[in-house]
Amino acid sequence: MSGESAEKGLDATTRDFANGQKVFNRYTLIKTLGRGGMGVVWLARDEELERNVALKFLPELIVHDRAVLGDMKRETRRSLDLTHKNIVRIYDFVHSEQSGCISMEYVDGDTLSNLRADRPHKVFEPHDLKDWTSQLCDALDYAHNHARIIHRDLKPANLMVNTRGDLKVSDFGISRSLSDSVSMLTMEQGRSGTLVFMSPQQLDGERGSHLDDIYSFGATVYELLTSKPPFSSGNVDRQIREKIPPLMSARRQELEVEGEPIDE
């Protein structure tokens, strides 16, 4: 079967899916991994290659618009070039008349967002992040300088840690592309991406660059150490553009965190 189509008789909407169901004449669904505004993610078995994969199913309004679906397909194909140990691999783009999904590497683990929430005071200590931030820097350097791809929606929820303790960056170029597509189809005004992690340039609608990822990297580390991104309430747009974030040490004092000092 081509990676770009499936037999019509196997079409299914995301509402029809169930554990054990075979979709696209190739994948057997195992369980739901996550659900959100940008679609549903399933753990599935790729029967052809005999490996587990994660299937990110696209919102139906994208599947039913040929132009937007084509854009998503091209964006996904660009991500196929990302082959780095700290980046979640994208395997395929599969669709039929009724449904579509992106097949990617399954990471047995959890997000840094969830892991942080389970910590005392909901923060990490600097030494906890040392290896992960180093791995994230390696992944971004590879993507920016070798593959020439930017993430555009970097945040703790897109950073996975597997059972071996290795960090994996997920949704490289995909989550932002999905958000762009949904915004266009619903005629919603505003910017795609996650506001509290967006750079001032993104807020102003400037052309995306690696600098956006670098800003989001900093905002991500800030949240992991203080439980909140630099700005999270009030007029966030204006604060990101005009203000310097409070010192992380001051934020941690508010939480009565008695841990390592932070160099700022």
Residues annotated as part of the active site: 153
> In this structure, what is the dihedral angle of CA atoms 243, 114, 33, 158, given to the nearest 10 degrees?
40
Query: Can you tell me which residue has the tokens 């800030």?
Result: 222
- How far apart CA 264 and CA 262 sit, in angstroms, is 6
Nearest alpha carbon to residue 90 among 74, 73, 72, 77: 77
Query: Can you tell me which residue has the tokens 């660009």?
Result: 78
- How far apart CA 208 and CA 179 sit, in angstroms, is 15
In which element (H, E) is residue 113 found? helix 112-117
- How far apart CA 114 and CA 122 sit, in angstroms, is 9
Query: Cα 185 from chain centroid?
Result: 21
Q: Is 87 helix (H, G, I), strand (E, B) or coil?
A: strand
